[in-house]
């Protein structure tokens, strides 16, 4: 296993002295060579989990092992073998792309003779060879994000932690980064990627762990999670609020789960709608039939409302 | 390779220096200009201004007295300000240390890298007033070659003090309290522009626990002739100051960066 967390708890104390568990009994295993998507809403504990793995946060309870090294006791050894792409853009703006990578090549103990080759390779992976001598503050948002990825890869790590790698980016830039992450995954590097973008997890992750309130509440491949929690098909009913409430009532009485999707209500496991209920449910509504997706699972398991 | 990582490694220190050298190559001209012009203005203003009224102080020409005092003030300001502001900005606004600590680097290595760079840069540039004083007629003792050692030692302590202060203040504006409440008195009660014998008796003990006073004494003795026993005491005081600040700076940064 590349990563093993067992019963990990991390508490913070509020200004008023209240103790809050950001991570609350987290158990998670990430096998070697797998891309695991850590899914969850904001505040689920994903970023804290990432910081626990680098020992920038210290667990109050439980055990953590990364690439065979116990954390935090052997954190330095573990950090040398992994690369981290943070959610926050913390590039050194005054340095060029190349200089940013050279500094981190040193920090990651790349032998002096190999620094230039390592930096060139990282620039190539991130498609930044042509902008190597541009200062970081002169790069576009997408280029900066790619430079952050390159920085995490400059020492050819065995494990990469990607913390919300595409948050706040344009769709085109996001797609560009997805290509980069897919290539990483194809090269056999173990990837732990936290995200709250469902599509990102569906496209990139071999397996997903859904986090809510500091713990994992479901794991499996995207297909398994969809099959287990949302079924094959979904019917989305559009109508006034009272009609949507009526559809929910009918579905629940038939044992079918539902979720609100803005101005519509979605009936999950639609393949199990009995013929006797089908007409009542439709009742002249505008109905969109579609395949169940990971977003249905996400909302089902983590709740429909935002904390 | 990774199994051999030690508690303290030089690679992170070299990494910090790599960054600073890259920036220094860009800004060396403006840094050097400031380090020469400032003491020149001080010497012109105090040396010739006051010097025309005072003549000699503590047995030295006033322009020589001030020239050596300005070395210490330059050391103070060029070390404590980067220690305070640079580390605060990098920690709070740029999150640079979060990135560094995700690599195989520990907090004490970051502090060592930042403080050593500031100390060496400050220690070297703080010698500029001596060069300017030569042009104003200073005739130094051979011990003058030891001045960079004393300025680097002093700057280490003040850089670490600045790093520690950056972990204590709740906001960047709070540095005003430290500048006005701590640094200004240190600067004035150190024998830089006038000897501490001119201060009231109650202020003498304060001057003796002021690290800057020990720096001023060491620089003057290096330039005008060593007082071996006293100078050992001055070096010891600066070493104790640097060690205490190292402890506080590392503890403060750890508290701010690791939760």
**A255-306: per-residue pLDDT in tens?**
899 998 778 899 999 898 888 888 777 777 788 889 998 888 888 888 755 4
Taking the alpha carbons of A242, A245, A247, A253 in that order, is the dihedral positive or negative?
negative
Å between B190 CA and nearest CA of chain A:
37
C-alpha angle A79-A83-A84 in degrees, rounded to nearest 5: 100
Q: Which CATH number fits domain A3-13+22-226: 3.30.830.10, 3.40.309.10, 3.40.50.300, 3.40.50.11540?
A: 3.40.50.300
What are the pLDDT digits (tens) for A58-103? 999 999 999 999 999 999 999 999 999 999 999 999 999 999 999 9
Say which of B18, B26, B103 has its CB closest to residue A79: B103
Task: Give the CATH H-level superfamily of domain A231-291.
Answer: UreE, C-terminal domain (3.30.70.790)
Residue A170: predicted pLDDT: 80
- Cα–Cα distance list, B103 to A11, A102, A103, A157, B11 (Å): 24, 13, 11, 11, 11
Q: Name the domain count of chain B.
A: 1
Assigned token pair, B41: 């203005």
- Residues paired with A218 in a beta bridge: A210
Q: Indicate the helix (H) or strand (E) that contains A7.
A: strand A3-13
- Residues of chain A with Cβ-Cβ distance to B18 below 8 Å are 99, 102-103, 106
Residues of A in contact with B14 (CB under 8 A): 106
- Asked if residues A86 and B97 have their Cβ atoms less than 8 Å apart, the reply is no
CB contact under 8 A, B101 and A54: yes
**pLDDT tens for residues B27-60?**
899 888 887 788 788 888 877 777 778 888 888 8
Interface contact A132, partner B, CB < 8 A:
no
DSSP E strand boundaries for chain B: 56-57, 60-61
User: What count of other Cβ atoms lies within 10 Å of the Cβ of residue B249?
Assistant: 27
Name the residue among B205, B187, B165 with its Cα closest to residue B76.
B187
User: According to the model, what pLDDT value does residue B3 have?
Assistant: 63
Among A58, A77, A90, select the one facing B99 at the smallest CB separation: A90
How long is chain A? 307
How far, CA to CA in Å, does B102 sit from each of A36, A147, A172, B146? Answer: 20, 16, 28, 40
Residue range(s) defining the domain that contains residue B106: 7-257
Of A259, A278, A276, A275, the closest CA to residue A267 belongs to: A259
Instruction: Give me the mean pLDDT over the B111-115 stretch.
Output: 98
- Is residue B37 one of the residues assigned to a domain? yes
How far is residue B242's CA from residue A208's CA, in Å, rounded to a whole number? 50
What is the percent of chain B with per-residue pLDDT over 70, rounded to a whole number?
Answer: 99
For residue A20, the cross-strand partners are: A12
Cα–Cα distance for residue pair B65/A38, rounded to 1 Å? 66
In a domain, B89, yes or no: yes
| Mean pLDDT lowest among A20-24, A184-188, B111-115, B146-150 | A184-188
Within a domain: B77: yes
Cβ separation B3–A86 shorter than 8 A = no
Dihedral over Cα of A131, A132, A138, A143: its sign? positive
Alpha-carbon gap, residue A137 to A144, rounded angstroms: 8
The verdict on residue B2 lying in a domain is: no
CA distance A229 to A274: 19
Residues 6+ apart with CB under 8 A from A10: A21, A22, A23, A45, A48, A52, A57, A58, A59, A60, A214
Q: Do A90 and B104 touch (CB under 8 A)?
A: no
When pLDDT is averaged across residues B166-184 and rounded to a whole number, the result is 95
Residues A13-32, mean pLDDT to the nearest whole number: 92
Could you tell me which of A243, A157, A214 has the C-alpha nearest to residue A41?
A: A214
- Residue range(s) occupied by CATH 3.40.50.300 in chain A: 3-13+22-226
Tokens of B106: 């520990």
Of A57, A58, A79, the CB nearest to B104: A79
Predicted pLDDT of residue A306: 47
Residues in B lying within 8 Å of A, measured between beta carbons: 1-3, 5, 11-12, 14-15, 18-19, 22-23, 26, 94-96, 98-106, 257-259
Q: Where in chain A is the domain with CATH 3.30.70.790?
A: 231-291
What are all long-range contacts of A134-138, with beta carbons under 8 Å and residues at least 24 apart? A134/A96, A134/A97, A135/A93, A135/A94, A135/A95, A135/A96, A136/A91, A136/A92, A136/A93, A136/A94, A136/A95, A136/A96, A136/A97, A136/A100, A137/A93, A137/A94
Residue linked to tokens 């300005």: B70
Whether B1 is covered by a domain: the verdict is no
Instruction: Give the per-residue pLDDT at B1.
Output: 53
Bridge partners of residue A237, in order along the sequence: A265, A287
């Amino acid at each position: 296993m590349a990563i093993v967390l067992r019963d990990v708890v991390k508490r913070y104390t509020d200004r008023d002295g209240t103790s809050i568990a950001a991570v609350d009994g987290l158990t998670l295993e990430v096998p070697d060579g797998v891309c695991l998507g850590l899914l969850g809403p904001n505040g689920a504990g994903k970023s804290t989990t990432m910081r626990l793995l680098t020992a920038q946060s210290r667990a109050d309870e439980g055990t953590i092992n990364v690439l065979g090294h116990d954390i935090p006791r052997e954190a330095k050894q573990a950090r040398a073998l992994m690369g981290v792409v943070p959610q926050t853009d913390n590039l050194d703006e005054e340095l060029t792309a190349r200089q940013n990578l050279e500094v981190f090549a040193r920090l990651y103990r790349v032998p002096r003779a190999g620094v230039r080759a390592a930096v060139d390779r990282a620039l190539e992976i991130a498609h930044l060879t042509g902008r190597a001598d541009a200062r970081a503050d002169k790069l576009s948002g997408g280029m900066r994000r790619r430079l952050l990825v390159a920085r995490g890869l400059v020492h050819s790590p065995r494990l990469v932690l990607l913390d919300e790698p595409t948050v706040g980016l344009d769709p085109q830039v996001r797609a560009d980064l997805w290509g980069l992450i897919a290539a990483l995954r194809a090269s056999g590097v173990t990837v732990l990627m936290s995200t709250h973008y469902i599509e990102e997890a569906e496209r990139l992750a071999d397996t997903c762990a859904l986090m809510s309130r500091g713990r994992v509440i479901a794991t499996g491949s995207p297909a398994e999670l969809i099959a287990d929690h949302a079924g094959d098909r979904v019917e989305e009913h559009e109508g006034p609020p009272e009609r949507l409430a009526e559809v929910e009532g009918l579905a629940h009485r038939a044992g079918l789960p539902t979720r609100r999707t803005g101005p519509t209500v979605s009936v999950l496991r639609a393949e199990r709608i009995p013929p006797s209920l089908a007409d009542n449910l439709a009742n002249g509504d505008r109905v969109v039939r579609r395949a169940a997706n990971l977003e249905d699972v996400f909302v089902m398991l983590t709740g429909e409302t935002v904390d | 390779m990774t199994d051999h990582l030690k508690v303290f490694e030089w690679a992170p220190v070299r990494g910090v220096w790599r960054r600073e050298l890259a920036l220094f190559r860009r800004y060396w001209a403006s840094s050097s200009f400031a380090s020469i012009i400032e003491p020149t203005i001080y010497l012109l203003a105090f040396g010739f201004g006051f010097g025309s009224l005072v003549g000699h102080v503590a047995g030295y020409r006033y322009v020589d007295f001030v020239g050596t005092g300005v070395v210490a003030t330059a050391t103070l300001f060029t070390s404590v300000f980067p220690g305070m502001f640079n580390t605060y900005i990098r920690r709070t606004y740029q999150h640079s240390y979060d990135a560094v600590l995700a690599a195989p680097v520990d907090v004490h290595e970051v502090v060592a890298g930042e403080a050593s760079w500031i100390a060496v840069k400050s220690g070297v540039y703080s010698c500029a007033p001596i060069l300017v004083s030569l042009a104003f007629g200073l005739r130094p003792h051979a011990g003058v070659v030891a001045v960079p050692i004393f300025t680097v030692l002093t700057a280490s302590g003040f850089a670490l003090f600045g790093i520690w202060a950056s972990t204590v203040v709740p906001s960047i504006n709070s540095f005003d309290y430290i500048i006005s409440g701590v640094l200004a008195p240190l600067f004035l009660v150190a024998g830089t522009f006038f000897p501490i014998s001119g201060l009231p008796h109650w202020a003498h003990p304060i001057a003796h626990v002021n690290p800057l006073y020990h720096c001023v004494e060491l620089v003057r003795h290096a330039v005008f002739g060593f007082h071996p026993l006293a100078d050992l005491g001055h070096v010891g005081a600066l070493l104790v100051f640097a060690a205490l600040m190292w402890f506080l700076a590392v503890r403060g940064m750890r508290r701010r960066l690791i939760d």
